[in-house]
Amino acid sequence: MNQVQKLLIIGFVWPEPNSSAAGGRMIQLISLFKRQGFNITFASPAQDSDFMVDLESLGVDKKSIDLNNYSFDVFIKELNPEIVLFDRFMMEEQFGWRVAENCPNALRLLDTEDLHCLRLARQKAFKEKRSFNATDLFLEDVAKREVASILRSDLSLMISEFEIELLESVFKIDKGLFYYLPFLLEPINSIEMLKLPSFEERKNFIFIGNFLHEPNWNAVQYLKETIWPLIRKLLPEAVLHIYGAYPSQKVVQLHNVKEGFFIKGRANDAREVVKNARVVLAPLRFGAGIKGKLLEAMQCGTPSVTTNIGGESMHGDLPWNGFVTDDITDFTDKAVQLYQDKNIWIKAQQNGITIINQRYLRGLFEDDFVKVVMILQADLQKHRLNNFIGSMLQHHTLKSTKYMSLWIEAKNK
């Protein structure tokens, strides 16, 4: 990509890399396009937050935009970007039709983060005390909205191979509309390994996760009520630190010194607290996507115990960075084993490094992704002709979101 191109990112929220994996993911995408020489504008209808990244320090222009407002049309016409990246399907739903009308030749990318309909369908199945079935997705209204958004976009970036498989097999979406782009990390070498705290230098169990995310709150409840009492029976002096951004009062109330259950809230430096813990516990019972907390654990050389949903699509055929189990007794035993047995712990740590270096290196994906983007830009009309359902969803008779937006805009005047 020789000429300087413009990329507009439309963000659901302003990126907070220290608060969530989604924030970290967005910074990785920004860095990828910066390395290709793009001029980047990040626009969002969200309120500023105390923890948002300083975009201007990254060389990114920041722009606040309004929902349901013609001012966006004026803004995007003037900017005239070659590529627009929607951060989650809700942003494509809100702004995609405006982009299509005002910049029809702009390549429209959708970063799905994770499949929201999968997370919600699993959550519903869990609450109804039944097993999740892929056909449950058909019953989710969010699935209809999310899949429509994927079909309207030129290319959707997916972080989970399992979710790509679901979209192909359940929703019959053409694989030419996806690109597998997981978290993009730097390699971990033996010198960096030596800088990590040793088994003896570490102490305590840890859980970390943004509390605005329902699977994290549920996992903390599960730890408090079921798993942690069993661990404490076997390790009476054990301590569990619960870290996470945006803890509500119901989270804070779980703090109990006598039980060794400490609610610590937001970590000033998440990497630092994970690096000094001995074992990460992540008993996730529903969710989707790739779990940033578990990748971060691997980067910090901290073994973990998680569930099958926690480890889903993360390690391929490679052995896990600790243990994966859905059985409560087994989860407890494996957590204690990892905490006490140095040899098992070191092996688990090495497994984590191997997973990072074989599955998540930026170098494995970046060049190929850039090539795919260039090919799409060079023959965008042909690509869109091959996506008839996407074109149909852009047709005016099906644009309920557009006309609802215009109605709200008129009403607001």
pLDDT of 1: 46
pLDDT in tens, 219-244: 999 999 999 999 999 999 999 999 99
Whether the pTM exceeds 0.75: the reply is yes
Residue spans of the domains in the chain: they are 6-184+362-412, 190-359
pLDDT of 397: 52
Yes or no: say if 355 and 315 are a contact pair by the CB < 8 Å rule: yes
**Could you tell me which CATH number the domain at 6-184+362-412 has?**
3.40.50.2000
pLDDT of 395: 75
| CATH number of 190-359, picked from 3.40.50.1980, 3.40.50.10740, 3.40.50.2000, 3.40.50.720 | 3.40.50.2000
pLDDT of 303: 98
From the list 181, 178, 179, 174, the residue with the least C-alpha distance to 385 is 174
Q: Which residues of the chain have pLDDT under 50?
A: 1
Yes or no: say if 353 and 344 are a contact pair by the CB < 8 Å rule: no
From the list 217, 219, 188, 206, the residue with the least C-alpha distance to 267 is 206
Strand-pair partners of 83: 7, 107
Same fold: 6-184+362-412 with 190-359: yes
pLDDT in tens, 52-106: 999 999 999 999 999 999 999 999 999 999 999 999 999 999 999 999 999 999 9
- The conformational region for residue 59 under phi > 0 = left, psi -120 to 50 = alpha, else beta, is left
The residue type at 355: I
Per the structure block, which two tokens stand in for 72?
């966006």
From the list 114, 119, 125, the residue with the least C-alpha distance to 161 is 114
Q: What are phi and psi of 7, to 5 degrees?
A: -115, 130
pLDDT of 351: 98
